[in-house]
Amino acid sequence: MHQPKSTRPDGRKEIVRITIVQGAFLPVPPLRGGAIEKAWQGLGEAFVKAGHEVTHISRLCDGLPRNEKIRGVSHIRVTGAEATTQPVGLKLRELLYVLRVRKILPPADILVTNAFWAPIIYPKEKYGKLYVHVGRFPKGQMKFYNKATRLQAPSQSVGRAISAELSELDDRVRCIPYPLPDFEPHEFPIYDRPKRVLYAGRIHPEKGVLELVQAWLRLPEEIKQKWALRLVGPWRKDQGGGGSRYLQKIRDIGGSNVEIQEPIFNQKILSEEYKNAQVFVYPSMARRGETFGLAVLEAMNCGCVPVVSPLDCFQDFVLPGKNGIFLDQNEKNLVTGLVKTLQNVLLSCPLDEWSKQAYLTTQKYEMGLIAERFLDDFRAII
């Protein structure tokens, strides 16, 4: 297989051929959401913009064509499957998808994948050096990924979890964060915005959404009369939500005190939601489920002040007392912690200053900068 050099004789960078293989359950473009799918679509387009060749393979569904080109990226779609809550069924469905994908893999220098089975059953280098994106906390599978040249984590916490499953001499782990989408610039100060607290993410029990609503009802009237709480995100189980019963429970408890919006998968429309809120709250309880917190970073990039759980992944970019705040760790009850923290933030914290610092923090996650970090790593291993 041709192995490109880092530069040509004329000093220009060599073209890198990159294949991206997503999992079996979500399409690209991310019509059903998905932080991983959204991130790699943007990265693929950034790689093409930098002069490289990209083939992006994902699930065939939702009326998308089997083959098309989007902003220079060649998209190939293969029959996948609907997700299931049964672990064995989930793995079997993805195995069948990965085997179908193998039949159409083009030759490449780098093969990026987040599909569980791909690093186990694909050849080590035939379709490109295996570059495994570990977008979820590992569950013992890292020891089976001996063919992988690189194990890439989106956050320091996931990186540590990967390393814990490997020998101390294994140096394949790299931490490169997700990039931010290209949002339209926004204006300060945020005091000109509606007095709105926004949650955007899956409407699911592990995200603490019900507890957020319960806490909101316990806030002082002086806050509830001035501020509004808005929830945006997928609630259907096939989209990763908690289902209709969970949504109805939230509606019954929140009543007219809480605004609930259907999920928004269009990035431009979603950015408008961020820009029409002053505070972004994300009280996730998924200690082994949150691997990065892209929604939090996107909200910060649009000037929202983050109020988040003290999970490891958020500590990569939320700086308490400077650009946001963590929920009170001394409070064992999530509802009590939310009441105490929200009351403090909405009554006495310098939201305008924190908003500016939140925006500045996100600048190192700009798409072009993150794409170049990946390209440097690709060149290093080929």
Q: Considering only CA atoms, which of 63, 61, 76 is closest in space to residue 27? A: 61
What pLDDT is stored for residue 1 in this prediction? 42
> Sorting pLDDT into bands at 50, 70 and 90, what band is 267?
confident
What pLDDT is stored for residue 185 in this prediction? 67
Matching CATH number, 190-363, of 3.40.50.2000, 1.10.150.130, 3.40.50.300, 3.30.565.10: 3.40.50.2000
What pLDDT is stored for residue 329 in this prediction? 62
CA terminus-to-terminus distance, the chain: 11
Q: Considering only CA atoms, which of 15, 19, 371, 27 is closest in space to residue 178? A: 371
Q: Are 279 and 299 in contact (CB under 8 A)?
A: no
Residue 250 has pLDDT above 70, yes or no: yes
What pLDDT is stored for residue 190 in this prediction? 86
Task: Judge if 17-179+366-381 and 190-363 fold alike in CATH terms.
Answer: yes
CATH superfamily entry for domain 17-179+366-381: Glycogen Phosphorylase B; (3.40.50.2000)
Of 20-29, 65-74, 78-87, where does mean pLDDT reach its minimum? 78-87
The span from the CA of 339 to the CA of 281, in Å, is 12
> Sorting pLDDT into bands at 50, 70 and 90, what band is 4?
very low
Residue with tokens 């019509």: 31
> Sorting pLDDT into bands at 50, 70 and 90, what band is 221?
very high
Q: What six digits make up the tokens of 122?
A: 């694909």
Torsion of the alpha carbons at 235, 239, 242 and 246, rounded to the nearest 10: 30
Q: Mind listing the pLDDT tens digit for each residue in 91-114?
A: 999 999 999 999 999 999 999 999
Q: Mind listing the pLDDT tens digit for each residue in 162-200?
A: 999 999 889 999 999 999 987 776 666 788 899 999 999
CB-based burial of residue 293 (10 Å sphere; 0-12 exposed, 13-18 middle, 19+ buried)? buried
Phi, psi values for residue 60, rounded to 5°: -90, 115
Q: For the chain, what are the domain ranges?
A: 17-179+366-381, 190-363
Residue 288 has pLDDT above 80, yes or no: no
Residues 6+ apart with CB under 8 A from 228: 194, 195, 196, 197, 259
What pLDDT is stored for residue 287 in this prediction? 75
Residue 259 has pLDDT above 60, yes or no: yes
Residue 21 has pLDDT above 80, yes or no: yes
Percent of the chain with pLDDT over 90: 83
What pLDDT is stored for residue 2 in this prediction? 46
Q: Please state the rounded mean pLDDT for residues 132-151.
A: 95
Residue 9 has pLDDT above 50, yes or no: no
Q: Please state the rounded mean pLDDT for residues 117-144.
A: 95
Residue 296 has pLDDT above 80, yes or no: yes
The span from the CA of 111 to the CA of 124, in Å, is 10
What pLDDT is stored for residue 328 in this prediction? 77
pTM above 0.75, yes or no: yes
Q: Mind listing the pLDDT tens digit for each residue in 143-155?
A: 999 999 999 999 9
What are the beta bridge partners of residue 111?
19, 130
Report which of residues 169 and 307 the model is more confident about. 307
Residue 5 has pLDDT above 80, yes or no: no
Residue 271 has pLDDT above 60, yes or no: yes
